[in-house]
Amino acid sequence: MLQVPFIRENKELVIERLAKRNIDATQMIQDVISFDEDRRRIQTDLDNTLAESNSLSKEIGNLFKSGEVQKANLLKEKTSQLKETSKELTEALSSKSNELNELLYKIPNIPHELVPRGNSDLDNETIFEEGEIPVLHEDAMPHWELAKKYDIIDFELGNKITGAGFPVYKGKGARLQRALIAYFLDKNTAAGYTEYQLPHLINEASGFGTGQLPDKEGQMYHVTEDNLYLIPTAEVPGTNIFRDVVLNESELPIAITGYTPCFRREAGSYGAHVRGLNRLHQFDKVEIIRVEHPSKSYEALDGMIDHVKGILKELKLPYRILRLCGGDTSFASALTYDFEVFSTAQDRWLEISSVSNFETFQANRLKLRFKNSNGKNELAHTLNGSSLALPRVLAGILENYQTKEGIVIPEVLQAYTGFSIIN
């Protein structure tokens, strides 16, 4: 959530940056300033009323002590009126503050200056590319056909048990899935991230804290009776560890990692481009999350990007990095880089990771602060990234490592799988 003082002091900048998201925020920003002025006026009136009431209470006490009962009783009538006025002002202040917050919740984060203008993924900028695209044999298959041929993922069985988008991993497919999770976690912990096992359901406050609510409410599975949500990513429970927390500056940076299943309704996702593992309702992901000092968060973002690059280099998968345009950047992010693996069998790029800096946007919602060197509370910066999302990494391995003899396991994973080929 954007901070009101920042909006007031940088009105034109906020409007200009939100235009990168193809949003004309002029009226919204003016409403924020107007609501805040109303809130300030009510607060001033309330403070003055309370001050006058306190002053009269002292005066009444002195009058009673000096025996001037009649004067004291007259003033008591006035204090009763002031109490009624303060009650009305308190209710008005609460109402205006709620109105202001409801508006602030609808305004996305302002994009970083590096974010290009654009409407969709077609306007994203490719900033890095590495790895050789393999030349496959003429009978090469997409991963959903390989999964059936080698009996390692059963999409039809998942459809029977639950519905489309809930695959069942079997045999060496399940082993490979588990190997990837262990490998990702080992790489992350070796890089200094502390591993957490996190809840798979969150409450409403956690959804608001990281910006999933109200923006992505329709994309989340909702357990209505308990008002809980299945997590769309480990980012949500992981970042909410620090909700309503004041850290010491010496505790920064904080780096955590965790594996969770992720659940997304993905409403409206149909067609050939979402076949197999390309788009699922339940999938596994290993996440990295950082809480940083504002002066060091972009250095940390670069470090996260290098970390994911290192993993893909070891997996020997061809990949590229995109800087997302304003129209494709998530609601809460200030700057996002997507990693995509090239699927040779499908002849297309598959997104496998997003690495983002949210600056103070999530921290303001979370009330995540640290005590700076001056002893004052300051909002921290939050960052997160997929390290990595498994379905499309697995699809990339199955398709790019296929041979006529079978699917070769990347060398770095063989110690985890216990086998070197699926055949």
Residues 218, 303 share a domain: yes
Residues 301, 276 share a domain: yes
For residue 107, give both structure tokens: 């305004």
Instruction: Please state, in angstroms and as integers, the Cα–Cα distance from residue 150 to each residue in 46, 145, 171, 292, following that order.
Output: 73, 9, 10, 45
The predicted structure's pLDDT at residue 422: 98
Residue 112 lies in a domain: no
**CATH number of the domain within which 51 lies:** 1.10.287.40
Residues 254, 394 share a domain: yes
Residue 113 lies in a domain: no
Give the lowest-confidence range in 7-16, 51-60, 85-94, 365-374: 51-60
Residue 155 lies in a domain: yes
Residues 145, 37 share a domain: no
Q: Are 393 and 183 in contact (CB under 8 A)?
A: no
Q: Kindly tell me the sign of the dihedral angle through the C-alpha atoms of 362, 265, 340, 309.
A: positive
Which residues have CB under 8 Å from 325's CB, separation 6+?
A: 20, 115, 116, 117, 118, 119, 120, 121, 123, 124, 125
pLDDT digits (tens, 9 = 90+) for 262-285: 999 975 555 556 789 999 999 999
Q: Tell me the residue range of the domain where 83 lies.
A: 4-106
Hunting for tokens 């919204």 — which residue is that?
28
In this predicted structure, the answer to whether residue 72 has a pLDDT above a threshold of 70 is: yes
In this predicted structure, the answer to whether residue 321 has a pLDDT above a threshold of 70 is: yes
Q: What is the mean pLDDT of the chain?
A: 95
Residue 177 lies in a domain: yes
In this predicted structure, the answer to whether residue 48 has a pLDDT above a threshold of 70 is: yes
pLDDT digits (tens, 9 = 90+) for 78-116: 888 999 999 999 999 999 999 999 999 999 999 999 999
Q: What residues pair up with 323 in beta bridges, in sequence order?
A: 125, 337
Q: Are 172 and 417 in contact (CB under 8 A)?
A: yes
- Dist. CA 110–CA 358, nearest whole Å: 10
Q: Which one is predicted more confidently, 272 or 308?
A: 308
Residues 139, 86 share a domain: no
What is the domain count for the chain? 2
Residues 162, 98 share a domain: no
Residues 156, 66 share a domain: no
In this predicted structure, the answer to whether residue 244 has a pLDDT above a threshold of 80 is: yes
Examine the fold and report which residue of 106, 130, 155 is the final residue of a domain before the chain moves on.
Answer: 106
Q: Mean of the pLDDT values across residues 234-254?
A: 98
Examine the fold and report which residue of 59, 82, 106 is the final residue of a domain before the chain moves on.
Answer: 106
Examine the fold and report which residue of 77, 106, 135 is the final residue of a domain before the chain moves on.
Answer: 106
Residue 358 lies in a domain: yes
Residue 236 lies in a domain: yes
Phi, psi of 418 (to 5 degrees): 85, 5
For residue 205, give both structure tokens: 């406050």
- Dist. CA 32–CA 18, nearest whole Å: 15
The predicted structure's pLDDT at residue 57: 85
Residues 11, 155 share a domain: no
In three-state secondary structure terms, 87 is: helix
DSSP one-letter code for 154: E
- Dist. CA 350–CA 399, nearest whole Å: 12
Other Cβ atoms less than 10 A from the Cβ of 107: the count is 20
**CATH number of the domain within which 180 lies:** 3.30.930.10
Residues 185, 102 share a domain: no
Q: Are 419 and 312 in contact (CB under 8 A)?
A: no
Residue 336 lies in a domain: yes
- Dist. CA 126–CA 238, nearest whole Å: 29
Residues 287, 153 share a domain: yes
Residue 185 lies in a domain: yes
**What's this model's pTM, rounded to 2 decimal places?**
0.92
Residues 144, 102 share a domain: no
Residues 320, 248 share a domain: yes
In this predicted structure, the answer to whether residue 144 has a pLDDT above a threshold of 60 is: yes
For residue 342, give both structure tokens: 């090239």
